[in-house]
Structure 1
Amino acid sequence: MFDNLKSLGITHPEVIDRYNLRQEAHHDILKIYFRKDKGEFFAKSVKFKYPRQSESAEQLSENEAQRINPNLSYVIEELDQLCQQNPLEVDLKNKILEDLRHLEAVVSNKIAEIEADLDRLTRFK
């Protein structure tokens, strides 16, 4: 049971608390959170990155349709089974704050990358 989760290295799927799925560029990012042990401040989590699949190899346009990776679909099915066994009310405020912090980190990293590129350009002139 839960063979797809076990193939990801999750040896004890029963300790999964919740999961989050988001799309970033041409990838789906799956983050799985585990139940906190007593005395732990933050829940442990693991993150997996799945490339999106093209609908058709014949489509070459930049706006081509993409779909979720089939392996990710199987993992999500198993996660849904686990999470339905342990219904958890999602705190929307915390989720929004978490998403904002993630966005802030992504933007900060991209700004640093662009500034580094600019520095390289100005050094060569």
Structure 2
Amino acid sequence: MYEHLKGMGITQYDRIEKYALRTEADYDTLKIYYKKERGALFARSEKFKYPRQKKTVLVDSGTHKYKNVTEISPILRQVVEELDQITSQEKDMKDLKKKILDDLRHLEKVVAHKISEIENDLNRL
């Protein structure tokens, strides 16, 4: 399913909590954080370095000036897309849990109000 992560040796996709990506000189550093294991003092993480892709780009066609630029490697871009899928699924689950709890609290209020209304009607009889 996550071929690029699998190629990096990552198999426990459900344990991935978040990731960070930063650029250092000619490398992009990807750090993947895992959920903290029970009884562990710190959460586990892994760090991967990818060389930046170097390109020469035409800046001014009139003077034929070129500039050397670097950009994220295509492989790392695909890895980040897979990580985005994993981390957004977890966020969606947290949002869904919050929505269900909010709906439950609202339902409790509605039922309590209706019970109070019925009790008032009974007292009037």
TM-score interval w.r.t. the shorter chain? 0.5 to 0.7
Rg: which structure is higher? 2
Is 1:17 aligned to residue 11 of structure 2? no
TM-score by length of 2: 0.63
Q: State the alpha-carbon separation in 1 of the partners of residues 2 and 91 from structure 2.
A: 18
Tell me the amino acid that sits aligned with residue 68 of structure 1.
Answer: I
Choose the corresponding residue for 2:75, options 61, 71, 76: 71
> Partners of 2:78 and 2:42 in 1: how far apart?
27
Partner of 2:90: 86
How far off its partner does 1:57 sit?
Answer: 8.5
CA distance in 2, matches of 1:6, 1:52: 21
What are the residue-to-residue correspondences of 1:1-125 with 2, within 5 Å? 1-56=1-56, 64-87=68-91
Q: Any gaps of 5 or more consecutive residues in structure 1?
A: 89-125
Q: TM-score, normalised by structure 1?
A: 0.63
Residue 71 of structure 1 aligns to which amino acid in structure 2? I
Report if the CA contact (8 A) 2:28-2:49 is conserved: yes
Q: CA-to-partner distance for each residue in 1:58-92, whole Å, 9 max, x for gaps?
A: 9xx9x62111011000000000000001129xxxx
User: Of Structure 1 and Structure 2, which has the larger fraction of its residues in strand?
Assistant: 2
- Distance of 1:10 and 1:29 partners within structure 2: 16
Q: For residue 86 of structure 1, what is the amino acid of its counterpart?
A: E
Kindly report the root-mean-square deviation, in angstroms, between the aligned alpha carbons of the 2 structures.
2.3
Q: How many residue pairs align between the two structures?
A: 86
